[in-house]
Amino acid sequence: MMKEFLKTKGFKITPQRELIFRSFFEMDKHVSVDELYDKVREKDRSIGYSTVWRNLKLICRVGLAQKVNMGDGITRYDRLTKVPHGHLFCLNCKRVVEFNVDQVVGILANTAVENKFSTRGFKVEVQGYCQLCQSESEKHADDEEIH
């Protein structure tokens, strides 16, 4: 499991690291450093922010998660899923719904090949307002990252 996996990769096991890893995988997807930090601190008030940050980076480095950036200034970390997926991102409440992108990725892969691009990943996002936030949609006519 986790410990062995890290050891084989040459990383040491520390109580902090264990707690951070465990907490990350217990949480919802799309976790920010701050969110994880808060969660971790519920269990151990002595863990530093840098340690959380560094271990989140490590989780990415060993291929268990990926950064995602929805366009609000906050970097979130998404557990790696076997099949790629897209995000419906609510511009108001920031909630995220994931959806299957098999068909879309097929098209994109072709496009990449046509452009002699060596593909490393896809980002497929729909930005808008979830059902609950629909009424608020007039605000923010501008400024959002819609593309």
Partner DNA sequence: ATTGAAATTGATAATCGTTTTCATTTAGAG
Partner DNA sequence: CTCTAAATGAAAACGATTATCAATTTCAAT
Which residues contact DNA by CB under 7 A? 7, 11-17, 32-34, 46-51, 53-55, 57, 73-75
Whether 88 contacts 97, CB under 8 Å: yes
Which of a second copy, Mn ion, Zn ion, none does residue 46 bind (CB under 5 to 8 Å by kind)? none
Whether 31 contacts 65, CB under 8 Å: no
The least CB distance from residue 117 to a second copy, in Å, is: 5
Span interacting with Zn ion, options 11-19, 77-85, 91-99, 120-128, rule CB under 5 A: 91-99
* Closest CB to a second copy among residues 43, 139: 139
Site for Mn ion contains 78 (CB under 5 A): yes
Site for Zn ion contains 133 (CB under 5 A): yes
- Helix axis angle, 33-43 to 49-61, nearest 10°: 120
Whether 56 contacts 33, CB under 8 Å: yes
